[in-house]
A and B are shown apart, each in its own frame.
Chain A
Amino acid sequence: MTAPNSAERRVCWDSRDLLWKCLDDNNDRAESCQKLQNDFEAKCPAQWVKYFTKRRDFLKYKERIQTEGFSPAEGPRENS
């Protein structure tokens, strides 16, 4: 299968941006953006859909860390 060309990339990125804007406006409630989600999955290769979904999760996680701070997990407790 051939790689998307410049125009196809742009179409995919635009649909991703619309989807992400919708998710931002709806507090990440996937149900409200189902149509845009379907559009996004149709316009982008499956690998890219997976990649961009993971990327969004990462960006949200990063934002949370930067605003709420990071609490390291507790280590194993020693038996006294």
Chain B
Amino acid sequence: MLALRGLGRVLLQHQRMSGCSVGVASLQPLPPRPQTRFQSGGPDPLSSGAKVKLRTRLLVSLLFGGGLLGAWAYVHWEKQQRLRRQRTDQLRKVALGQGTFSLVDHTGRRRTKQDFLGSWVLLYFGFTHCPDICPDELDKLSAAVALLDRDASLPPVQPLFITVDPERDGVPALARYVKDFHPRLIGLTGTTEEVKHAGRDYRVYASPGPKDQDGDYIVDHSILIYLLSPDGLFLDYYNRMKNSQQIADSVSAHMRSYQRL
């Protein structure tokens, strides 16, 4: 270990002389000659003079190594930030959710998009007669919100559920449905036109299937959880493959970078 650090230092001295900058890749095994130059220290390696020199060399090596690690960590972090910003910019260009919606919540109160400005929103489109996907996604959404609730430094997230099946999902059906999930979950419904308008805003695909003899049917629809910023902009989305921890991590990352702006 010592020899390697020493190698690095000797290499640095070499590079300085030739005027190059040191890269991490340059710390590779060298031909034996510089090694013997290092190991043949002073005439008496046990003298206190040589010991002091060794300590200084160690210290410098450690500082140099630490500096390199720090530089790498910073570059890596900066790259992550850049990637995240690129993604947000791309999604901003897609500009989903630009319009306003006017719907009725599961308590019968009218809500518009304005009412949710100022909060972070996690939005899911589904329907109450959904066999398995909507309950799964809403459970995941509830778990993500619960994880975020645990962090007191973050603002609270508002979970929203908008139905794609206004024909069957009126206020009482929604009220029955949302109580199985996060206590803050608000269900939204309205007339067919109002719901279609909200869905179009987020480019949600929804297609009711054929009705059977009981009048029951399944609505085929796109499965996504949307993240909206406090100024109502669509910032990110999460598909079925993201679990609740990943969603919570992504939301908190967005929150932190957003606040800094």
Contact = CB atoms under 8 A, between A and B. Distances in A.
Nearest to A47: B216
Interface string A1-29: 11101100100010000000000000000
Given A1-B214, A1-B215, A3-B173, A47 B129 contact: yes
Nearest to B181: A6
Contacts, number: 39
Sorting the interface of chain B by its residue count into under 10, 10 to 19, 20 to 34 or 35 or more gives: 10 to 19
B217 interface: yes
B208 to A, nearest CB: 11
A46 interface: yes
Given A3-B128, A3-B129, A51-B131, A45 B216 contact: yes
Contacts of A51: 131, 218
B212 interface: yes
A5 B180 contact: yes
Interface in A38-72: 45-48, 50-52
A79 to B, nearest CB: 41
Interface residues of A, number: 14
B132 A3 contact: no
A45 B213 CA distance: 12
Interface in B118-156: 128-129, 131-132, 135
Nearest to B210: A47
Contact of B176 (A3, A13, A45, A50): A3
A47 B173 contact: no
B216 A46 contact: yes
Nearest to B169: A3
B177 interface: yes
Contact of A48 (B128, B131, B177): B131
Interface of B: 128-129, 131-132, 135, 168, 173, 176-177, 180, 212-218
- 7 pairs of A and B residues whose beta carbons are closest in the complex: A3-B128, A6-B180, A47-B216, A48-B131, A3-B129, A51-B131, A47-B218
Interface of A: 1-3, 5-6, 9, 13, 45-48, 50-52
